[in-house]
Amino acid sequence: MSQNDLFASAAPQDPVGSVASTQTAVADEAARLRALLNEHAHRYYVLDEPVIPDAEYDRLFQALQAIEAAHPELRTPDSPTQRVIGQVLDGLTPVRHAVPMLSIRTETDTQASGAEAFDARIRRELGLGPEDPPVEYAAELKFDGLAINLRYENGKLTQATTRGDGETGEDVTHNVHTIRQIPVHLKGIQAAVLEVRGEIYMRRDDFEKLNEAQREKGEKTFVNPRNTAAGAVRQLDANITAQRPLRFFAYGLGDVQGWDIPPTHSAMLDALAAMGMPVSSDRTVALGASGEQGLVAFHQRIGKARDSLPFDIDGVVYKVNSRALQERLGFVSREPRWAVAHKYPAQEQLTLVEGIDIQVGRTGKLTPVARLKPVFVGGVTVTNATLHNLFELRRKRVRIGDTVIVRRAGDVIPEVVGVVPGERPAYVPNFRMPSQCPVCGSTVVREPGEVNHRCSGGLFCAAQRKQALLHFAQRRAMDIEGLGEKLVDQLVDGGIVRTLPDLYKMGFAKLAELDRMAEKSAQNLLDSLEKSKQKATLPRFLFGLGIRHVGETTAKDLARHFGKMGHKGDESKEGIMNASYEQLLAVRDVGPIVAQSIRTFFDQEHNCEVVEQLRAAGVNWPEHEPSAEADAATLPLFGKTVVLTGTLPTLAREEAKAMLEAAGAKVAGSVSKKTHYVVAGAEAGSKLDKAQELGITILDEQGLRDLLAPPPSSLA
């Protein structure tokens, strides 16, 4: 089948007239959809090179399902709706699964009603009436990666296989051995056979880093974390796999011999976690669909948290918690009746490129940005998506008028991942980079060996000044509430703010004069500027300065290492500003490029002045932050292990975790004898039970706060 056939969307000619000919047309359409779906499934499962987004595949799949439902006689045994697709590649050895690897039914209704429908179905199938108590479910994340079966014999990893077609997978043991998260020996268990099933995936930040490195080398980038993970696991050469940052979460079992499987799914996952298996802590035991502790509440909570999770999920999974009930419910075709996947809006969609604009960034980098026909993707309407640089745009062959796949996942900016072939209008000129900055008119340059075009205007360029201010003001840096894009435009265009310290020199009168800047918002901005001074920490400040290659993590490492900013020309040699190239290299994870970039930044007198002026304006932070390993032992919770479970009334899990870690505690994912405290909130599940069983101290949010800020007398 040629590429163009693949994307032909018009149905075959329908010789309107008799009933017979209409039936032929429907049969032809079913055949066309089957061929199309088989081709796409092959690209997806076998080649790991999908050319359409999943949502588009789902739409075609549902169209075929609808035809087959209305005309059962058209259902063929080889229809993609009738079998699990996937083939075994030549290079890897096929392995027959001891227990087939099933799939789960998908609830396509992304609203709360999807969870209610599942609960209603389970109750009906179990013969429960309205007066019967709610069913208990294990609710967890639906990871977007590659399913894997890990076979442990007498506690030792002996074989890892992909899912393949569900009956037969491929032996990828050599590659799985390179994934550090996957234990080679299970802790405390000697079962003759224990097959653990779960998902191999890649975190979004690791994926971004990988692509950033590819981009800098001018090499081909990867499409999304899932395909990258799947491709890495199925390599013939394990050395390639070893270079990919892969991770794993367990969510089920395969063949088991010689182990008493715990009576509930949640207890089984706890047991796996205790054996050293990575198990996600974002799970709960829900009672029924509705109510505070129901499936709907979980679906909504995870829906809100989806963007801030470090990896992609495409939904949540509900499983009847009791194994006895699971067995009673059984299977229908190749899916268990006791589980369902409840989806969220897709993170990839198709849309049209209406134009290509140029954006000028903080470092002067010129980024081609596709102006798109608005499309709902990853839960928001997207109208722009980055094309990164000229070379990537050329490699992906994007032109105005093309239909493209847009991806928006997490808080990563939306990007164009590829063009749908065969849909380009006839005449479209190739895109060219301008030779002058579209904002300030300065010459555009590209240094030898660099892929990026840059405006040479520096802080003369208003675009660069604006971006520098926005970077400084963002939540993860100085967190200046209310200082958004529109306001920064006005401040810079109106000549009120040129450099970072100018922000803290603005008077009320000047501000209130600005367009739409009512007095109240002027006062609000001044208040949040004031607040930002109090909230500052050395890492946030350093990150906010926008030194090239100094992200949040490097900023934290630098602050921990030096603990001080220092003063240029000062006697003291401790500060970051004064650190030599060699001293910078001694910082964890700082290499030659980063060290040079920091040195170059502070070698420029005006940058040091900016720092001094900001500090003079009152931006300050506690001088002695907990630094270096030597100090760790003095932290109040040093050596303590804490487990978080359930939802706390005011603290998000990440906040609670950060507070605990700052106090020296280790935050673990599962409860064991070594756990010192369990902090439990609403919807706390099996971890709480386990803690009670083991007699571990259980705290609520207030208890956690007391633990973190003990009365002065108890601090030795």
Residues that bind ligand IVH (CB under 6 A): 102-104, 140, 142-143, 147, 163, 199, 251-252, 317, 336, 339
CB of 119 to ligand IVH, least distance (A): 18
User: Looking at this protein, which amino acid is placed at residue 648?
Assistant: L
Give the CA angle between residues 169, 175, 180 to the nearest 5°: 120
**Beta carbons within 8 Å of 286's beta carbon, 6+ residues apart:** 136, 137, 138, 139, 293, 294, 295, 297, 298, 318, 683
Closer by beta carbon to ligand IVH, 179 or else 317:
317
Tokens 């990988």 belong to: 210
Smaller CB distance to ligand IVH: residue 251 or 472? 251
Give the DSSP H or E segment for 248.
strand 246-257
Closer residue to ligand IVH, CB minimum distance, 100 or 421:
100
The torsion of the CA quartet 651, 655, 658, 664, rounded to 10 degrees, works out to -10
Closest separation between CB of residue 103 and ligand IVH, Å?
3
Contact 703, 679 (CB under 8 A): yes
Q: Which of 142, 319, 466, 687 is catalytic?
A: 142
Residue with tokens 């002058």: 436
Quote the CA–CA distance of 42 and 1 in Å, as a whole number.
Answer: 12
Q: Quote the tokens at residue 570.
A: 């000062």
- The torsion defined by the Cα of 474, 476, 478 and 482, in degrees rounded to 10, comes to 40
CA geometry: angle 388, 394, 395, nearest 5 deg: 90
Cα separation, 299 vs 343, in Å, equals: 9
Cβ-based nearer residue to ligand IVH, 99 or 380 = 99
A 10 A CB-CB count for 66 gives 11
The residue (of 279 and 684) whose beta carbon lies closer to ligand IVH is: 279
Residue 692, H or E segment:
helix 686-694
CB atoms within 10 A of CB 337: 17
Q: Which CB sits closer to ligand IVH, 201 or 601?
A: 201
Which phi-psi region, left, alpha or beta, contains residue 364 (left: φ > 0; alpha: ψ -120 to 50)? left
The overall longest dimension of the chain from CA atoms, in Å, is 96
Closer CB to ligand IVH, residue 103 or residue 384?
103
Query: DSSP assignment of 608-660, as one string?
Result: HHHHHHHHHTT----SS-S-HHHHHTTSTTTT-EEEEESB-SS--HHHHHHHH
Backbone angles phi, psi at 679, to 5 degrees: -100, 115
Give yes or no for a contact between 137 and 285, defined as CB atoms under 8 angstroms apart: yes
Min. distance of Cβ 646 from ligand IVH in angstroms?
19
CB contact at 8 A, 362 and 468: yes
At 297, list the tokens: 């509440």
Instruction: Based on the residue annotation, tell me whether 319 is a catalytic residue of this protein.
Output: no
DSSP 202-245: E-HHHHHHHHHHHHHTTPPPPS-HHHHHHHHHT-S-HHHHHTS-
- Residue 365: DSSP 8-state: B
In terms of phi and psi (left: phi > 0; alpha: psi -120 to 50; beta: otherwise), the region of 588 is beta
Residue 224 near residue 407, CB atoms below 8 Å: yes
Tokens in use for 417? 């991942």
User: Shortest gap between Cβ of 173 and ligand IVH (angstroms)?
Assistant: 18
- CB of 605 closer than 8 Å to CB of 570: no
84-121 burial string, b = 16+ CB within 10 Å, else e? bbbebeeebebbebeeebbebbbbeebebebbbbbbee
For ligand IVH, give the closer residue by CB, 336 or 501: 336
| Residue whose CB is less far from ligand IVH, 265 or 465 | 265
Nearest to 461 by CA among 608, 358, 597: 358
Cα dihedral 83, 88, 93, 98 in deg (nearest 10): -10
Q: Which residues pair with 171 in a beta bridge?
A: 161
Catalytic residues: 142
